[in-house]
Amino acid sequence: MEDRVVVITGASGGIGAATAELVSKRGMSVVLVARRKDALDAVASRCGENALTVVADVSQRENVRRVVSAALERFGRIDVWINNVGRGISLKPSELTEEDVDEVMRLNVMPALYGMQEVLPHFESRGTGHVINISSLLGRVPFAVIRSAYCGAKHFLNALTATFREEVQASHPGIQFSLVSPGVVRTDFGLNALHGGPDSRQLPDSQSAEEVAEVIAGVIESRQPDVYTRTGVQSRIAGYYASLGADPQT
SS3 of 150-209: HHHHHHHHHHHHHHHHHHHHCCCCCEEEEEEECCCECCCCCCCCECCCCCHHHCCCCECH
DSSP state for residue 95 in the 8-state scheme: G
* Dist CA 146 CA 92 (whole Å): 5
Are 115 and 177 in contact, with CB atoms under 8 Å apart? Answer: no
- CA geometry: angle at 130 spanning 49 and 156, to 5°? 120
**Which of 114, 150, 240, 241 is labelled catalytic?**
150
Residue 228 appears among annotated catalytic residues? no
Residues 6+ apart with CB under 8 A from 103: 89, 194
User: Which residues are catalytic, by number?
Assistant: 150
